Amino acid sequence: MAELKVYILCRFALESQLYLSWLQSLTRPYEVVQEFPGTWIPPDDCGLIVTHLHYRWDEVGALRRILVDGRIPILILADGILEYRNIFEHPELADGSVFQPLMGHKLACIGRGQVRVVESWGNIGKCEVVGYPRLDRLLTATPEPPAKTGPFRLLICSANKPAFTEVQRAAVVESLQHLRERLTENPLVNGRPTEVVWRLTDGLNEEVGLPDAPPLDELPPLHDVIAQVDAVITTPSTIFLESALLGRPTAVLDFHNTPHYVPAPWMINAPKHLNAILRELADPPAAKMLFQNHVLHDQLECNGPATPRLIELIERMIQVGQESRTAGTPLEFPHRILTDERFGFSPVESGYDLSQLYPENPILKSSDLEQLQLELNLLKGRLEEIPDQLYRVLQQLDERNERIDELQNKYNSTKDRLDAAKERLKKWRTGVFRLGDPAPGKTEQEAGSETTEGESE
């Protein structure tokens, strides 16, 4: 029997790093299908179908028919991050066409964060944590760390498709214009002159008021540009992960203010955010860089290259499909084909350093072990004394509370007698007493004897 092939459904597969980044590592024969209408039938030597095209009727129609047929495994490649506007506010895409549900047996996700979202759309058991093979080359890159002095080198860039409607495009242009005006009127950030590298797509240069730029394919690779700057500002894009992977503080410029499946430590949602964020990009707080690294490792599986994981996934899916056809049983895949070496746990980030995260706390800066041991021993002794002291203080408080209650009772009793005396005195002074009424403090007999004596006199 001839060796089973991998059939790639994408007319530009041999021009895209989404495929070229791993095809050279595939030892199994493959074939690129450039045209595949909804009636396309996989050849007999087809062991697996691989594609990222999951959006148009012809593509989905073919995938759906093959999926229902149940003989050939289908692997879908995630092409970058999930972007809210692309999923829910893209007028050219049918509702639900972005993995709602997945038209395949497995989705090669770029990271755990993506798995959680796609599975929440009902795709349980269809997601595999693979990574992003086209970024494998950056895993071994060692660019110089961002500079703290001298010119502040800032890259401002946009996604390949920064907007899907005219309203969205207007918001993108407005955000970039505000950024350009800020850096033109005041080119200083933290007292450092700013050197800006603009790398805009989709004809945005003219609308923003920038000089014409050469076509992107004539410019240096984006990762080389990122490695030469100190910070990056980008519209929502996989560029965020690429920049974070190279250790650059990265802000997301988003005047749409839509939900983000990939959060960033710096979000520019309005012009008033620019000054504060520019200052922090030039001198990023350790806590925000720690958050950026956390997001990076959650959204991009970068614990080693992704290509071997993808090749393993391809081979295992072909094996399951071949065994299923031989046995005449329906295709059935395990919930997870790839082994998770960390069992779902997150690694401790390299930037997790309390002395850097809390620079104003002198205790966390100390590295003198003997001094810290001595202080800890003294504190333990002091803590052992506290329960007895606290007990005595509570006893004293109880005694004082009892004394206070006694004084309060005496005060209330005295106050009642005084109030009664005041009332009698008030009646006496206002002449309320009738003739013959006893004066305050005297009986009726005493009052009557006084009246008789006065009359006799």
User: Which contacts of 146-149 are long-range, i.e. CB under 8 A and separated by 24 or more positions?
Assistant: 146/229, 146/230, 146/231, 146/247, 146/248, 146/249, 146/284, 147/230, 148/283, 149/192
Q: Is 221 helix (H, G, I), strand (E, B) or coil?
A: coil
Instruction: Quote the CA–CA distance of 310 and 52 in Å, as a whole number.
Output: 14
Tokens standing for 277?
Answer: 């964020």
Q: What are the φ/ψ torsions at residue 196 (nearest 5 degrees)?
A: -100, 130
Dihedral through CA 305, CA 310, CA 311, CA 315, nearest 10? 150
Asked if 45 contacts 2 with a C-beta cutoff of 8 angstroms, the reply is: yes
Tokens of 22: 């791993």
Q: Is 268 helix (H, G, I), strand (E, B) or coil?
A: strand
- What is the Cα–Cα distance from 110 to 134, expressed in whole angstroms? 11
Q: Residue 400: which residues within 8 A CB-CB, separation 6 or more?
A: none
- Kindly list the domain boundaries of the chain, sorted by start residue: 5-138+302-327, 152-300, 376-449
Q: What is the pLDDT of residues 172-226, one digit of tens each?
A: 999 999 999 999 999 999 999 999 999 999 999 999 999 888 888 788 999 999 9
pLDDT in the model for residue 35:
82
In sequence order, the 6+-apart residues with CB closer than 8 A to the CB of 46 are 4, 5, 7, 72
Average per-residue pLDDT for the chain: 90
Nearest to 312 by CA among 336, 279, 282, 285: 336
Q: What is the pTM of this model?
A: 0.79
Contact criterion met (CB below 8 Å) for 400 and 393? no
Mode of pairing for the β-strands spanning 188-189 and 192-199: antiparallel
pLDDT value, residue 269: 97
94 three-state secondary structure: coil
Residue 2 has pLDDT above 90, yes or no: no
User: Once rounded to an integer, what is the mean pLDDT over residues 296-319?
Assistant: 96
Angle at 345 between CA 339 and CA 346, to 5 degrees: 115
Question: How many percent of the chain have pLDDT more than 90?
Answer: 70
Q: In this predicted model, which residue has the larger pLDDT, 288 or 434?
A: 288
Does the structure show a pLDDT above 70 at 445? no
Residue 72 · residue 48 · CB < 8 Å: yes
Look at residue 116 and tell me whether its pLDDT is greater than 90.
yes
pLDDT of 61 above 50: yes
CATH, domain range 152-300:
3.40.50.2000
Cis peptide before 265 (omega within 30 of 0): no
- Structure confidence at residue 152 as a pLDDT band (50, 70, 90): very high
**Is residue 35 within 8 Å of 78, Cβ to Cβ?**
no
Residue 263 CB neighbours (<10 A) = 16
End-to-end CA distance of the chain: 151
- Are 134 and 300 spatial neighbours (Cβ–Cβ below 8 Å)? no
- Say if 5-138+302-327 and 152-300 have the same CATH topology: yes
User: How far is residue 234's CA from residue 264's CA, in Å, rounded to a whole number?
Assistant: 11
Fold for 5-138+302-327, please state it: Rossmann fold (3.40.50)
pLDDT for position 346: 65
pLDDT value of position 456: 42
